[in-house]
Copies of this chain bind each other. A is one copy, B any other.
Amino acid sequence: MLAAVRAHGVLSQAEIARITGLSPASVSNIVHQLADADAVELSPGIRGGRRAQEVRVRSDGGLVVGLDFGHRHIRVAVSDLRFVVRAERRVECDVGASALSALAVAERLVGELLDEIGTTRCGVRAVGLGLPAPMGPDGGTLAAWPILPSWATIDPARHLAKRLGAPVYADNDANLGARGELYFGAGRGVSDLAYIKAATGLGAGLVVAGNVYRGFAGSAGEIGHLTIDEMGPVCSCGNRGCLETMVGAPYLLELIRHSHPDVRTVEQLVTCALAGDGGCRRVVADAGRHIGFVAANLCNVVNPERVVVGGDLAAAGDLLLEPLRSAMPRYAVVTVASTPVVAALTGERAEVLGALVLAVEQFQRRHDQAEGADVPADDPGREVPSGDDAGVNDPGRDPAGRDSARDSAGEAVRDGSGDPGFRTEAGLANGHHPAVSGPAPDLGPAGRSPVSGPA
Residue numbers of A with Cβ under 8 A of B are 18-22, 134, 136, 142, 144-146, 191-192, 204, 206, 208-210, 213-223, 225-227, 230, 237-239, 293, 296-298, 300-305, 330-336, 339, 376-385, 430-433
Contacts and interface: CB of A to CB of B under 8 A. Distances in A.
A430 B334 contact: no
Question: 7 closest A-B pairs (Cβ-Cβ)?
Answer: A21-B376, A215-B303, A381-B381, A209-B385, A216-B305, A220-B303, A380-B431
Given A21-B376, A208-B208, A377-B18, A221 B301 contact: yes
B376 A20 contact: yes
Contact of A192 (B18, B19, B215): B215
Contacts of A303: 214-222
What is the count of identical protomers in the complex? 2
Contacts of A297: 226-227, 297
Contact of A225 (B146, B192, B300, B304): B300
Contacts of A20: 376, 378-379
A218 B304 CA distance: 10
B217 A301 contact: no
A134 B330 CA distance: 19
Contacts of A136: 335
B226 A144 contact: no
B378 A379 contact: no
A206 B206 CA distance: 14
19 contacts: A21-B378, A22-B376, A134-B335, A204-B301, A206-B302, A217-B336, A218-B335, A219-B300, A221-B301, A221-B303, A222-B303, A222-B333, A223-B301, A225-B333, A227-B296, A239-B332, A380-B433, A381-B382, A385-B385
Contact of A383 (B209, B215, B302, B376): B209
A262 B432 CA distance: 60
Nearest to A193: B216
A146 B18 CA distance: 46
A304 B215 contact: yes
Contacts of A206: 301-302
Contact of A385 (B208, B216, B296, B336): B208
A237 B377 contact: no
A332 B210 CA distance: 27
A134 B384 CA distance: 26
A422 to B, nearest CB: 23
